[in-house]
């Protein structure tokens, strides 16, 4: 099945329609690192990550991983770990997933620029949480209620179509 993300901020899956927010500068086919756009295309889904100290185990068919204090994602295009999950203890540049705010209490990685990884093409795009529906740096964000509903319904074989 296909999760559809519309440029007007609507996520559609099966019978569900959820409000969502996208990158501050909209959807773009040729995304680049740090350009504040959400990439256009069809992508597979990665793992579901969650903060076990804030959310109980999430009902889903996706592979899950608990976010630990040093769980990060490399966003340095010059690093061999670029666009991959890694341990921030390694002192490398990266996005910290264990945050004070609640945006990353639960998230699904979207396999954008994943196989092969091309430097400067843009690092991880997440489907993560929002409370205020403010534009993101390139990710897609929905409410916790909608996220938990979606997580129950999707499978690892499902794809996401942006734009």
Mean pLDDT, the chain, rounded, equals 96
CA distance 102 to 58: 16
Tell me which residue has tokens 């004070």.
100
Q: In sequence order, which residues have a C-beta less than 8 Å from that of residue 42 and are 6 or more positions away?
A: 2, 159, 160, 161, 162
For every residue of 82-114, DSSP letters joined together read: TTSEEEGGG----EESS-SSSTTSEEEEE-TT-
Q: What is the pLDDT of residues 92-140, one digit of tens each?
A: 678 999 999 999 999 999 999 999 999 999 999 999 999 999 999 999 9
From first CA to last CA, the distance across the chain in angstroms is 16
pLDDT at residue 90 tops 70? no
Q: What is the pLDDT of residues 17-31, one digit of tens each?
A: 999 999 999 999 999
Res 29: pLDDT:
95
Res 91: pLDDT:
66
Res 93: pLDDT:
72
**Structure pTM?**
0.96
Radius of gyration of the chain (CA): 15
pLDDT at residue 41 tops 80? yes
């Amino acid at each position: 099945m296909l999760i559809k993300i519309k440029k007007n901020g609507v996520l559609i899956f099966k019978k569900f329609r959820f409000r969502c927010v996208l990158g501050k500068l909209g959807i773009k086919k040729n995304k680049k690192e740090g350009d504040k756009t959400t990439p256009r295309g069809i992508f597979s889904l990665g793992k579901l990550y969650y903060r076990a100290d804030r959310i109980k185990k999430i009902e889903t068919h996706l592979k899950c991983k608990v976010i630990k204090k040093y769980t990060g994602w490399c966003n340095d295009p010059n690093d061999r770990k670029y666009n991959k999950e890694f341990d921030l203890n390694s002192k490398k540049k990266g996005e910290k997933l264990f945050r004070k705010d609640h945006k990353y209490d639960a998230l699904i990685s979207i396999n954008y620029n994943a196989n092969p990884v091309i430097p400067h093409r843009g690092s991880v795009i997440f489907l993560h949480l929002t409370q205020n529906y403010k534009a993101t740096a390139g990710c897609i964000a929905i409410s916790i209620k909608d996220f938990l509903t979606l997580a129950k319904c999707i499978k690892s074989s499902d794809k996401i179509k942006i734009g």
